[in-house]
């Protein structure tokens, strides 16, 4: 396996993606490089994004309104 040092941007639509995918998503991204930009977009006043709030800090993802 070769090492890939590509810098990638991870942009998540939090309103349409479940937080259950984050572990697998981060593992897949690691196969291609490093996600140096990690943003998640959504309406943070909406209770449906509550599940994302717990994993933002763990994965260094910046919430965007």
Residue 46 DSSP label: S
Say whether 13 sits in a helix, a strand or coil: strand
- In the three-class reduction of DSSP (H, G, I as helix; E, B as strand; rest coil), residue 16 is classed as coil
Q: Is 19 exposed, middle or buried, given 0-12, 13-18 or 19+ CB atoms closer than 10 A?
A: buried
Kindly state the tokens that stand for 10: 């991870």
Q: Full-prediction pTM beyond 0.85?
A: yes
Helix extents (H) in the chain: 22-30, 50-56
Task: Please report which confidence band the pLDDT of residue 3 belongs to, taking 50, 70 and 90 as the band edges.
Answer: low
For 28-54, the pLDDT digits (tens) are 999 999 999 999 999 999 999 999 998
């Amino acid at each position: 396996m070769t090492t890939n040092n590509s810098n990638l941007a991870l942009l998540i639509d939090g309103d349409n993606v479940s937080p259950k995918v984050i572990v697998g998503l981060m593992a897949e991204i690691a196969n291609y490089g490093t996600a140096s930009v990690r943003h998640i977009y959504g309406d943070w006043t909406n209770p449906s994004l509550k599940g994302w709030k717990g994993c933002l800090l763990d994965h260094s993802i910046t919430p965007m309104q």
